[in-house]
Amino acid sequence: MNSATSRIAPIVAGLGLLAFTGTGGENTDLGAHLFGFCVGFGGGLVLALARRLTPGWLRNRRLQASCAAAALVVVVAAWAWGLVAAG
C-alpha cells in the first residue's frame, strides 16, 4: 500500500461502517452514529498529529491498556444510558 492509500483507507472504512450500521431502521439514532464517527475521526487525527511529534509514546503498554479500558467504559456507559432511557 502506498502512503496515500494507507492514510485514506481508515477513513473509507469508517464511512463504510457508518453507512452499513448507522443508517438502517426507523429506530436508529443517525445523529448519535454520525457524531460518534466525527469524534472518532477527530480523536484519530489528534493521535496521528501527536504521534508525529513523539513517535515512541504510543508503544507504552500502560497507555494502551488505559485507552482500551476508557473505550470499553464509554461503550458500556452509552449502551446502559440508552437502555435506561428506552425504558
Question: Mind giving me the DSSP string for 3-54?
Answer: HHHHHHHHHHHHHHHHHHHSS-STT--HHHHHHHHHHHHHHHHHHHHHHHHS
Span 28-51, pLDDT tens digits:
777 888 888 888 888 888 877 776
pTM, two decimals, is 0.53
Residue 37, exposed/middle/buried by CB under 10 A (0-12, 13-18, 19+)?
middle
Q: What is the mean pLDDT of residues 1-6?
A: 70
pLDDT for residue 87 is more than 70:
yes
CA 39 remoteness from chain centre? 7
- The pLDDT of residue 11 is 81
